[in-house]
Chain A
C-alpha cells in the first residue's frame, strides 16, 4: 500500500468551528488531492496540489482552503464548519501526471453538528 495517512480518522465538531484535516505521504509524490465522498455523489474533488505551495480548486472548493508547505503534507481547512460539510474526506496522491494512478488514504469521517 502507498504510504498515505490521514489524521484524525474521525472527528465530531460543532457548526462554526474551524477544522483542519491532515494528509501525510511518504512516497514523495508530486500531486496530492482532497476529495469528499457523499452518498449518491461518488467522489468529488475539493482541491489539489501540484507541488509545494502550488494548489488549485476542484469542483466543490467553496468553504474549504488548503495548504502545502512540504512535499509530504497537504492540509485541508474548513474555516467555519457547516452541517453540509459532514462527509468522509479522502486524500489521494499521484506521481507523474495529474489524476494519473491515484492512491488513496483511509479517509476521515467528519461530522458537523
Chain B
C-alpha cells in the first residue's frame, strides 16, 4: 500500500543547512507537501511541489523531487533555533498520506 517514510531525528548546528529526506511509494502522487509542527501546535504548511517539477525554492527553503526514485527532500539554509520543530512530508494522490515526521533539533 501507499507509504511515506522519513527518518525520525536530525540534529544540525545553528547556521548550517538542514536536509530532511522523505521517500514515498505512490507513483500517481500529484502534490508533495512539507509541513512544520511546533510544540503544542497544529501543522503549518511550509511549501509544496507539483509532481512535474524537480525543484522549488522559497527563501531559505529548497525542495528537491526525484520522481524516478520517489525521493523528496527539504533543505533549510542557515538553520536557526526557530526552525526547531517536527517536519512532516506528505504525498497526495487519491488520498493524502503523511510521514511520521522528522524532529529537527538545533545545536549552538
Q: Could you tell me which A residues sit within 8 Å of B by CB distance?
A: 4, 40-45, 58-59, 90, 92, 99-107
* A35 CB to nearest B CB, Å: 8
Q: Could you tell me which B residues sit within 8 Å of A by CB distance?
A: 4, 31, 35, 40-45, 48, 88, 90, 92, 95-96, 98-101
Cβ contact within 8 Å between B98 and A104: no
* B23 CB to nearest A CB, Å: 14
CA A59 to CA B3, docked complex, whole Å = 13
Cβ contact within 8 Å between B100 and A42: yes
Q: Give the residues in chain A near B96, CB-CB below 8 Å.
A: 45, 99, 102
Smallest CB-CB A-B distances: 8 pairs: A104-B42, A42-B98, A99-B96, A43-B98, A42-B100, A104-B43, A99-B92, A106-B42
Cβ contact within 8 Å between B43 and A90: yes
Kindly count the residue-residue contacts between A and B in the assembled complex, taking CB atoms under 8 Å apart. Answer: 45
Cβ contact within 8 Å between B92 and A42: no
Known: A100-B31, A100-B92. A43 touches B48 (CB 8 A): no
Q: Main SS of chain A's interface residues?
A: loop
Cβ contact within 8 Å between B4 and A42: yes
Known: A99-B96, A100-B31. A42 touches B101 (CB 8 A): yes
**Which residue among B43, B92, B99 has the maximum number of chain A CB atoms within 10 Å of its CB?**
B43
A40 closest partner in B (C-beta): B100
B31 closest partner in A (C-beta): A100
